[in-house]
Structure 1
Amino acid sequence: MAYVGAATALGLFAPRAWAQEGAPAAAGAVDGDPKAFGPERHGLSAFGELQYPADFPHFDYVNPAAPKGGTFSQVPPNRSLNQSFTTFNTLNAYILKGDGAQGMDLVFDTLMARADDEPDALYGLIAKSVAVSGDGLAYRFRLRPEARFHDGSRLTADDVKWSLETLKARGHPLIAQSIHDLERVDIESEDVVTLRLSPKRTRDLPLTLAALPIFSKAYYSAKPFDASTLEPPLGSGPYKVGRFEQGRFIEFERVADYWAKDLAVNVGRSNFDRQRFEFFRDRDVGFEAFKARAYLFREEFTSRTWATGYDFPGVRENKVVRETLPDLTPSGGQGWFFNLRRKKFQDPKIREALNLAFDFEWMNRNLMFGAYKRTVSVFQGAPEMMAMGAAQGPELALLEPFRDKLPDSVFGEPPVPPVSDGSGQDRNLLRQAQRLLREAGYAPKDGRAVNAAGEPLTIEFLEFDPGLDPHVSKFIAGLKIIGVEASIRMVDAAQYQQRMNAFDYDVVSQRMSMSSTPGEGLRQVYSSESAAVQGSQNLSGIAYPAVDAMVEAILSAKSREELNVACRALDRVLRSLNFWVPAWYKDSHTLAYWDAFSHPAQKPRYTRGAPEFWWWDAEKADKAGVKA
């Protein structure tokens, strides 16, 4: 088994950022007036750095001559907001209600588009340019007059204003929380709109706003935006909703006369005539469907399947390609998250004891073919952001005000998960766990750990995918040895999402994807204010002043070095809390696909690249017997 697999707010919004101070000329004061606007620029980045000039013809990592055509079909590789891996019942993927369909971001354009070979840069899409006030609190976007919705109606500043205000008021809580410091949107003309921000705003906010979908105000004038619906919406993006069957599949059709197809940010991308997502409630059933060519592309997240399952006729006949691409992005944190809102998890000794019962070394060897490394940090894969050695210098200065409220481990060598002897029953670690439980008030009695009132310590793992059953079952076996009664509660995807939204669980598994420039997403996952927000990604309910302070230090960093220092300080504090059981990671994408595609020789650094920059190869498809 590989990643538990979910993209969250850490990756959804955090890459879009802008420095609050110290930006280049565009953010400089004009004639000494901090409210005056600097010159118009073609892009934005967290610290003012842009790799591409204003007249760039296309991104370096695309094939500008890639042909159009064919179909790209896959199962969902990740999820965000209200989406599910296994089903959908609404085409509204920007609200809390329902299970949103995968791929809806293909339907809507944004003010600016991401460059996938830069850590946090955006370039003009709907917006031709942006000018920033000297105080960094106003962003004036000049829209392209040719921007159009799919019905031919013009996309104007009025649509931008309505969209951002609506998302703030009625959008998914993760979106609403991330843009709450948007004070107002001013329309200066049909193609000029200014976003006014609060002085408290985070570094992320301007580009978070620039990367949000823009909807048609006229379309929603007769429809409630926050309704769960299967009516295909009016968009402006490269694709529109095509055929679909609720909960089974959804197709997106390329818009042939897409208004922005020739813009530099779109050259060489969106090459398939159709993109299709297939949904399966069981991972193994989904793999059998791939073998039968029910869909054509699969990122393999199950190490057992990758090691032993690819011996079927399509592979033996060289019609299925297996490819491993490097993943150079931060993998973030994957593991099992304790719900600290529940009393039984509030004692850190209990959380540490539960960690000691997890035998990663045995699981990796026996269940995962040695394919993974142990996760130790929420910034795993980004060594410049991970705590190492004793705290000193700027890190120590950030932590020092909280010394009397933090354990000593925060200031010394950062804690790492225990390493077992790989036997599956490391007696030394299990004895340590039992000692910690006794110190926390749970003594052994008749094989169970019970408190003074005779109540046993019980834990329920909430799951919707049986793919993790062997791993959780082995974890449960270790917990049983130390007297903890644990069980798996398997629910369907809809009930799982409802319980997650309401924080109705003991322990859940999740992968928190990480941005290369962490920002607002960290507040959504680790801050006190997000702990009680329904549907938030603060799964553990973390609410600690020291965590809040480190997150704010990250958000206010004026340089990448300041950012890295603050991230290392946050990493120290989070590791000391033992709020989760860290799982595993790998630094590669393991891909399998029916040989009907080609792709650029070099993938962009910060994304998988498929299907965005791949294309249908008719000659290969004919040889492999694959039809579009």
Structure 2
Amino acid sequence: MMNSGLLRLHDAIGCLLGAVRRAASISFVIAAAPGLLTVCGAMPTAAQAKPSISQYDQPKYPADFTHFDYANPDAPANGSLSFENYSELQTYDSLNPFLVRGAPAPDVLNLMFDTLMQRSWDELASEYPLIADDVEVAPDLTSATFHINPAARFSNGDPITAADVKYSYDTLTSPQASPLFNAQFSIIKNATVIDRSTIRFDFKHAERDAPLIAGDLPIFSPKWGMQPNGKRLPFDQISSMAPISSGAYLIESRKNDKQITYRRNPDYWAANLPSRRGMFRFERITFNLYRDHYTQLEAFKAGDADVIVEYSATQWARKYVGKNFDNGLLKKGEFADGPAQMQGMLMNMRKPMFQDPRVRHALTLALDYDWMNRMMFYGQYRRTNSYFEASPFGATGMPGQKELALLEPLRGSVPPEVFGPMLKQPDTIPPNSLRGNLRVARDLLAQAGWHYRDGALRDANGTPMTIEIMDDQPGMDRLILPYMQALDMLGIQAHMREIDSALYEKRLDNFEYDMTTFIYPPVTIPGAELTRRFGSAAASEVGSENYTGIRSKAVDSLIHSALSATNLDDLEAATRALDRVLIYSFYLVPEYYAPGARIGYKTTLGFPKTVPNSYQYEDWVIDYWYVKAPGAQATQKLQAAQSASSTTATAH
């Protein structure tokens, strides 16, 4: 339902299997005990540099790979893409995506800022050369040293140096940048320039994903923000000045706060790297931002936009019709996806009324998902039962032995239900019903000290329970209103407040809300984002992702177990145990997810035959789709016309 352009953050003592610097594609693997590290079966005396790294096992692609399987290196590299709202933002007022204030220009981070290394989209966690052409991971995993490709350049022609990488790291972890980036790179203790092309990141402690986190660092020039007088603006004041790009695109033009056009840099140095071949095929990409989804869809149907990612089941089922669908100009496509997002209605536990888990549990019982899916979603959605839905990291059934080994020391500080079967969200399929669920909710509220009297649900002091449900999406009202009606049956006075996206982001960053629907983007492998989303330290950081305000030593302990896991089995046990605790703590009202991407597009666009295992829908289109060659377009139009003619003849 909610368009999400949100960041995707996928998060090593190990076994270094491999060859020499820039010679082979090798992974680092944590051995059974810290310090046990092998290279081709022998104990190494020093780390070796490698062009690619993997958190587990070996990278999928060898050293001599030419392109990712989900890229088409032969795709035409011309034409333009007209895109609509990249995210839920309806306007933008900043060209700096690293600040806590302001709404950044659509997809500016992806299009204009390359990272040290490139994550692949069809592996759990592997990275390949980009700005860095190799990385040397210390045997004890306390540091990673990156060598910068001598050909790497900023858009102004300056070579990218180790000093530029250090400047980027120091800036993003300073108070001038959003705390989200400081949290993302919190595992890094410091960055040290070794020479012009070499930089070492030292880590606060050994974690197998730490080198990959360092590889995720976006790089920007110290000259960005430089004024004619030679003085550089403070980083948090750089908002209207175009970035000096390290990525594939430049800003060509802007039209107020609702339109921006990017132009592919003809001198982009990395265009033929294996990690970039078949990528960024559009010469120009234009974003037009609309105030509401209805206008977005109508613009697409009229041919004013080339593609639209649809998050509304109703729109997808009923509105993607018209002459341009009939004549073959437009088409609907459904594409498989990997791990599912966690979408739910967050409860802000900084508010006293949400601090009792029985109250939170009661609120989850008031959502009639089955009725919504049947009456409004055309059966297109599935119920969310896990924070790691459709993933091997989510809990199911009874906890296994490894899960119990992690949970037993926490007994007494976690819900006792975590030692039993994993919770299945309440349904209203007969013989179950919403009314039955509400009776259970009423009893839970009474146990927590909330009783119905004088026309409202009140606490011991007579204060009524009132909840403001905040949102910035016009279409969400048809889902929130039935939920509010169910709450009203419990005596809870709920009301919806719809605000513009800029104010919504500000209130979200400052935790100024009671409840709101939010999406935690999926990750292929859980890692550092667990700390940002659920760690106690993040609960008091303005702009952090711990929106619910979780402060739990048990949750912190399980996050630590996940981050220090030495193999996939241990990681799965830790995340499944964490999943049980999060679900049984009722921090949000789980909603639903779509099993894949729904994308409407012009048939003049093409896409690779192989779909990635896990991807952000918008960036898959922007990064890997292309405009078909004129000959291919003509052939397709002829086939469409022949098909239409044949259908007409048959009808007659």
Matched, 1:322 2:332: yes
Aligned match of 1:183: 189
Q: Tell me, which stretches of 5 or more residues in structure 1 are unaligned?
A: 79-83
Work out which of the residue numbers 332, 357, 373 in structure 1 matches 2:341.
Answer: 332
Aligned match of 1:529: 537
Letter in 2 for 1:295: A
Q: CA RMSD in A?
A: 2.3
Aligned match of 2:571: 563
What are the residue-to-residue correspondences of 1:47-196 with 2, within 5 Å? 47-78=56-87, 85-104=89-108, 105-169=110-174, 170-196=176-202
CA distance in 1, matches of 2:224, 2:257: 25
Work out which of the residue numbers 248, 252, 263 in structure 2 matches 1:242.
Answer: 252
What are the residue-to-residue correspondences of 1:502-581 with 2, within 5 Å? 502-581=510-589
Aligned match of 1:203: 208
CA contact (8 A) 2:86 2:107 kept: no
Please state how far the C-alpha of 1:534 moved relative to its aligned partner.
0.6
CA distance in 2, matches of 1:36, 1:102: 47
CA distance in 1, matches of 2:6, 2:50: 30
What are the residue-to-residue correspondences of 1:372-521 with 2, within 5 Å? 372-382=381-391, 384-421=392-429, 426-521=434-529
Aligned match of 1:341: 350
CA contact (8 A) 1:330 1:515 kept: yes
CA distance in 1, matches of 2:395, 2:17: 30
CA distance in 2, matches of 1:149, 1:410: 51
Matched position secondary structure for 1:459: strand
Please state how far the C-alpha of 1:444 moved relative to its aligned partner.
1.3
Aligned match of 2:33: none
- Seen in structure 2, the aligned counterparts of structure 1 residues 20 and 500 have a Cα distance that, compared at 3 Å, is farther
CA distance in 1, matches of 2:374, 2:431: 10
For 1:448-467, what per-residue CA distance to the aligned partner results, in whole angstroms no more than 9, with x for missing partners? 11122221111110111111
Aligned match of 2:643: none
What are the residue-to-residue correspondences of 1:267-346 with 2, within 5 Å? 267-327=277-337, 329-346=338-355
CA contact (8 A) 2:17 2:38 kept: no
Aligned match of 1:223: 233
Letter in 1 for 2:178: H
CA distance in 2, matches of 1:73, 1:526: 37
CA distance in 2, matches of 1:280, 1:217: 34
For 1:185-233, what per-residue CA distance to the aligned partner results, in whole angstroms no more than 9, with x for missing partners? 222221111112222x543332122122111123345232222522211
CA contact (8 A) 2:86 2:287 kept: no
Structure with the larger RCO, 1 or 2 (CA within 8 Å, 6+ apart): 1
CA distance in 1, matches of 2:416, 2:137: 44
CA distance in 2, matches of 1:353, 1:376: 16
For 1:318-352, what per-residue CA distance to the aligned partner results, in whole angstroms no more than 9, with x for missing partners? 1101111111x211311101001110001111111
Please state how far the C-alpha of 1:21 moved relative to its aligned partner.
3.7
CA distance in 1, matches of 2:431, 2:300: 35
Matched position secondary structure for 1:285: helix
Letter in 1 for 2:591: A
Please state how far the C-alpha of 1:376 moved relative to its aligned partner.
0.7
CA contact (8 A) 1:7 1:513 kept: no
CA distance in 1, matches of 2:374, 2:478: 13
Please state how far the C-alpha of 1:245 moved relative to its aligned partner.
2.4
Please state how far the C-alpha of 1:48 moved relative to its aligned partner.
4.5
CA contact (8 A) 2:442 2:490 kept: yes
CA distance in 1, matches of 2:100, 2:637: 42
Work out which of the residue numbers 599, 611, 617 in structure 1 matches 2:628.
Answer: 617
Aligned match of 1:43: 52
Letter in 2 for 1:336: M
Aligned match of 2:647: none
CA contact (8 A) 1:281 1:465 kept: no
Q: TM-score, normalised by structure 2?
A: 0.89
CA distance in 2, matches of 1:531, 1:367: 35
CA distance in 2, matches of 1:424, 1:559: 41
CA contact (8 A) 2:15 2:38 kept: no
CA contact (8 A) 2:89 2:502 kept: no
Please state how far the C-alpha of 1:23 moved relative to its aligned partner.
4.9
Letter in 1 for 2:492: V
CA distance in 1, matches of 2:207, 2:538: 15
Please state how far the C-alpha of 1:36 moved relative to its aligned partner.
6.5
How many aligned residue pairs are there? 610
CA distance in 1, matches of 2:178, 2:212: 18
Aligned match of 2:591: 583
- Seen in structure 2, the aligned counterparts of structure 1 residues 129 and 553 have a Cα distance that, compared at 3 Å, is same
Higher mean displacement: 579-588 or 278-287: 278-287
Letter in 1 for 2:613: R
Work out which of the residue numbers 208, 214, 217 in structure 2 matches 1:212.
Answer: 217
Aligned match of 1:351: 360
- Seen in structure 2, the aligned counterparts of structure 1 residues 36 and 464 have a Cα distance that, compared at 3 Å, is farther
- Seen in structure 2, the aligned counterparts of structure 1 residues 138 and 36 have a Cα distance that, compared at 3 Å, is farther
Q: TM-score, normalised by structure 1?
A: 0.93
CA distance in 2, matches of 1:29, 1:303: 51
Q: Tell me, which stretches of 5 or more residues in structure 2 are unaligned?
A: 19-26, 29-36, 227-231, 639-652
CA distance in 1, matches of 2:424, 2:261: 44
Letter in 2 for 1:331: A
CA distance in 1, matches of 2:61, 2:123: 10
Letter in 2 for 1:363: M
Work out which of the residue numbers 606, 614, 621 in structure 2 matches 1:606.
Answer: 614
CA distance in 1, matches of 2:44, 2:187: 18
Matched, 1:262 2:262: no
